[in-house]
Amino acid sequence: MTVAACTDPSRVLRVGPTGNVIRSQAGWLMHAMSETQGWRTERRLLSLRERLRACDLCPRQCGVDRTAGQLGFCRTGADAPVAHVGLHFGEEPPISGSNGSGTIFFAHCNLRCVFCQNHQISQGTGNLAVRYLSDYELADEMLSVEKRGAHNVNLVSPSHVVAQIASAITIARGRGLRIPVVYNTNGYDAVDTLRELDGLIDIYLPDIKYSSEEAAEACSAVSDYVPVNRRAIAEMFRQVGNLLLDDDGLARRGLLVRHLVLPENLAGSRASLAFLASLSPEMVVGLMSQYSPQHRADEVPALSRRITYEEYERVIDWALELGLENCFVQELESTQLLVPDFGSEEPFGNS
């Protein structure tokens, strides 16, 4: 996310010791403050893995046995489908910093957004190379971006691979991973699944896409997005609180919520912002102006054009009226710079 201006949250998180590393009889690597916590983590990982047998990890609750190769809405089996790993410099400044965010883009998705800018990997990978990684291989990728200097591990579109990433985070931390882990999600997440991530995720980076079910159904093929999304964001906030920065202005822990402004206020922006303000007026919000008609956007008439300057300024005004002063904003000209090409070795051109 290319940022033009922001107000800077003043709180600073100071990171202390990371605890001991232990290995259980089952062979899991544990990164924990105590052996008791390590055993609790192992039980949590085994529970998540077992839920893949009748998958209910995301709100779709397809009930398919992913361990046996059955595919539900997300078309994902037991291994994590990784479409791209690399340093990304287009996120909010506390996420990208100067060295970049260590993004791991997962293929497939539990939504079907008609305007998705990542549709090449989220809604049909075609001839693109997708790697299906074991938990240990995924942990290797987390460690690899840390070695490349990334400020964090940024898990993009993780909602359908929670079991895999929970295990991989635990393995990676047991092998020395020290940078924060970011859960970069469309916001369609199940609360009971998010609770299993408590203590594993440092930074939540969810979308709040819509405030009406009609818009969610028309644009993303989901009928219950609004209540599910709001419960999920509330749970994320319970776990990590407001965004906390270190002395270098880098995010270390907390919640940063993104909202994509859509033409003709299709997203229902004010109601979404009001919900965030009700959780905390200190909430950090990314107000994104980067919408452009992509993929099948022409199926929804209102989505056939980019937003206007006036539409975007109105949403900024709403945020300020509601007391949300910690907002990242974008230049409208950034639109085309942020549309990736996953057929390229560098999908974002290192933007």
Q: Which amino acid type is present at position 252? A: R
The confidence score (pLDDT) of residue 346 equals 80
The H-assigned helical ranges of the chain are 35-51, 93-96, 119-122, 135-147, 162-174, 191-196, 213-220, 225-240, 269-279, 309-321
User: What's phi and psi for 221, nearest 5 deg?
Assistant: 55, 45
Q: Is the dihedral of CA 205, 294, 76, 209 positive or negative?
A: positive
Amino acid at 25: Q
What residue ranges of the chain have pLDDT lower than 50? 1-34
Reduced to 3 states, what is the DSSP secondary structure of residue 301? helix
- The number of folded domains in the chain is 1
Contacts of residue 273, Cβ cutoff 8 Å, sequence gap at least 6: 259, 285, 315, 318, 319, 322, 324
Q: Containing domain of residue 166, as a range?
A: 5-338
Q: Is residue 349 part of a domain?
A: no
Sign (positive or negative) of CA dihedral 258, 296, 106, 58: positive
Which residues pair with residue 80 across a beta bridge?
133
In a domain, 138, yes or no: yes
| DSSP string across 217-281 | HHHHS-SSHHHHHHHHHHHHHHHH-B-EE-TTS-EEEEEEEEEE--GGGTT-HHHHHHHHHHH-T
For 94, what's the count of Cα atoms within 13 Å in the CB-facing half-sphere? 34
Any domain includes 302: yes
Amino acid 7: pLDDT: 35
Q: How far apart (Å, rounded) are the C-alpha atoms in residues 323 and 311? A: 19
Q: What is the pLDDT of residue 125?
A: 62
Structural domain contains residue 122: yes
Locus of tokens 């980019």:
306
pLDDT at residue 140, as a whole number: 98
Is residue 158 a contact partner of residue 83, using CB atoms and an 8 Å limit? no
Q: What is the pLDDT of residue 336?
A: 61
Residue 343: inside a domain = no
CB 151 within 8 A of CB 179: yes
Confirm if 45 and 167 have CB atoms less than 8 A apart.
Answer: yes
Torsional sign, CA 66, 137, 203, 217: negative
Decide: 263 and 291 in contact? Cβ < 8 Å.
yes
The answer as to whether 40 is a domain residue is: yes
State the CATH number of the domain containing residue 194: 3.20.20.70
Report the b/e string of 122-151 with b at 16+ CB within 10 A. Answer: bbebeeeebeebebeebbbbbbbbbeeebb
In a domain, 348, yes or no: no
Both tokens assigned to 285: 């919000």
In a domain, 344, yes or no: no
* Sign of the C-alpha dihedral computed for residues 40, 251, 341 and 307 taken in this order: positive
Q: Which two tokens stand for residue 18?
A: 């990371």
What sign results for the dihedral spanned by CA atoms 265, 268, 274, 278? negative
Judged by DSSP in three states, 184 sits in strand
Give the model's pLDDT for residue 350. 58
244 neighbors 254 (Cβ within 8 angstroms): yes
